[in-house]
Amino acid sequence: MKRAAFSLIEMMIAVMLLSVAMVGLVGAITWSAVNVSLQDEKSKAVSIATIVLEEMEDLQLEEIVDRDWDKWVKDNGYDFGLSDLKIQIDFPLVYDEEENGMAYPWGYTYRWGVIWAGHYKPSQIRPLIRVDLTVQWLHKGQEVSYKVSTLFSSISRGIG
């Protein structure tokens, strides 16, 4: 006797296997769409951080500290649609025993010459100020952040 069709059991097993495969495929597509959305927002955060850091280059330290960066970003249209955007600027302090135990917002000193042999003049010292910039926003109700650290020498003219 020749079989011309599939039995009901065979069809149910085939449908069940296809269902499991489809659930996995839909889950992967959903995860991919969410991940693409988050990566798009992160690229906007990188752009915002770059714009803010470029603006800082022309300012003195007091101007950087006093400026409301959240407002500046929004007023200039640089928020790129990120919800609940916050910009945080930090200047990590470094304890310097040679300077009477004072803490300064520069952690590095750029020196020309051979510093390990002590062959440099004080006029050749330029403080490099470390700036930590954090861009925070909400992504689907969860806070996400992008942090970048950099060194500036051009804003040192605003220090003491």
Report pLDDT digits (tens) over 16-38.
Answer: 999 999 999 998 888 888 788 88
| DSSP 8-state secondary structure symbol assigned to residue 98 | G
Give the torsion sign (CA, 88, 110, 127, 154): negative
Q: How many angstroms separate the Cα of 151 from the Cα of each of 43, 53, 103, 139?
A: 22, 10, 17, 29
State which amino acid sits at residue 92: P
E runs forming strands in 18-153: 83-90, 94-96, 102-104, 106-111, 125-139, 142-152
Report pLDDT digits (tens) over 12-21.
Answer: 999 999 999 9
Q: How far is CA 123 from the centre of its chain?
A: 35
Question: Is pLDDT at 110 greater than 50 in this prediction?
Answer: no
3-state DSSP assignment of residue 8: helix
